[in-house]
Amino acid sequence: MIRYYRELTRLEMEQTDRERTIVLIPLGALEQHGNQAPLGTDGLIADVMPRYLKEEIEKVDPDFPMLIFPTIPVGLSMEHLNFCGSISFKPDTYYHMLYDIGESLARHGFRKLAFLVCHGGNAPTAQILSRQLRCDFGILPFVLSCGAFGHPDVKATVSPGNVWDFHGGEMETSMVMAIDPSLVKLDTAEAGIPTAFVGNKSLMPYGSVALNWMGEDWRTADGRPIGIGGDPSGATAEKGEIILRTSARELVQGLLEIRDFKLSGDDSSVK
């Protein structure tokens, strides 16, 4: 059964098979998403994705053993601090805050954690943290990506010519519109492109040869920092629903395999 961590009583938690139960920890962020989308875009997506996951997984396994942890609303967003309203942990603060949550869960006997990364900037911390938690406590911390942005159905939601769609662009704005259209002010939207990188064949703001980007690298056509990648103007709630639903479906198989995952020789001293 999939339940919400904070709704359980202590007695219910004591009765939970903690060795088998996956704790899903959604990692959000509180940072600018352009003129048109809310600061809490990533946190809003992190809040709803577990509900989509619950609906999709329960079609396959109504007794799926998972607890949904409260969304961590702030993440690692220093690349956006020069834009009004963005809030960031420093890397060591973020790491240690998540480490303490992982340690507490391990103390209570949970073995399977799943960090649901809903802001790309949180991914490196989730990865090194997971390795350290595994090393220190012998638990299994998995890292899940919240958005299936490479899936053909998701790519098909992006308007033709919108080649830089990424942070705060058409896809993310569409997802917020699917959650609550009143939170998006689409008439204020402006497109952003990484002007310094346009024309490069290899060096990009991400990929195999990359400069770790800052929000101000993303500019409007006339050179003003806008801090988003892509053109949100084609965003719709219908597109957002496709992206959220597809992203959830794409995680189902992985979560089923996490449910069944055992290291061979798992009863040995090497975990």
For Zn ion, how many residues bind (rule: CB under 5 A)? 3
Q: Which range in 167-175, 182-190, 214-222, 226-234 contacts Zn ion by CB under 5 A? A: 167-175
The residues near 172 (Cβ < 8 Å, ≥ 6 apart) are: 33, 37, 41, 42, 45, 232
The residues near 16 (Cβ < 8 Å, ≥ 6 apart) are: 8, 67
Residue 231 touching Zn ion (CB under 5 A) = no
Q: How far is the CB of 208 from Zn ion (least distance, A)?
A: 23
77: nearest Cα among 112, 34, 120: 120
Q: Which range in 54-62, 87-95, 97-105, 172-180 contacts Zn ion by CB under 5 A? A: 172-180
Q: Which range in 58-66, 103-111, 136-144, 165-173 contacts Zn ion by CB under 5 A? A: 165-173
Q: How far is the CB of 12 from Zn ion (least distance, A)?
A: 34
Q: Which range in 141-149, 157-165, 168-176, 243-251 contacts Zn ion by CB under 5 A? A: 168-176
Q: How far is the CB of 100 from Zn ion (least distance, A)?
A: 25
Q: How far apart are CA 164 and CA 117, in angstroms?
A: 21
Q: How far is the CB of 147 from Zn ion (least distance, A)?
A: 9
Cβ closest to Zn ion, residue 79 vs residue 172: 172
Q: How far is the CB of 167 from Zn ion (least distance, A)?
A: 5
Angle between helices 170-179 and 41-60 (to 10 degrees): 70
Q: How far is the CB of 83 from Zn ion (least distance, A)?
A: 13
258: nearest Cα among 99, 65, 50, 98: 65
Cβ closest to Zn ion, residue 41 vs residue 122: 41
Cβ closest to Zn ion, residue 172 vs residue 231: 172
Q: How far apart are CA 39 and CA 13, in angstroms?
A: 34
Q: Which range in 10-18, 19-27, 54-62, 166-174 contacts Zn ion by CB under 5 A? A: 166-174
| 106 Cα distance to chain centroid | 22
Cβ closest to Zn ion, residue 41 vs residue 247: 41
- Chain residue at closest Cβ approach to Zn ion: 42
Q: How far is the CB of 199 from Zn ion (least distance, A)?
A: 26
The answer to whether 51 and 178 have CB atoms below 8 angstroms apart is no
Cβ closest to Zn ion, residue 42 vs residue 231: 42
Q: How far apart are CA 34 and CA 32, in angstroms?
A: 6
Choosing from 22, 25, 42, 205, the residue that interacts with Zn ion (CB under 5 A) is: 42
DSSP bridge pairs for 254: none
DSSP state string for 181-217:
GGG--GGG---BEETTTTT-SS-BSSSSSB----GGG
Summarize as ranges the residues that interact with Zn ion (CB under 5 A).
Answer: 41-42, 172
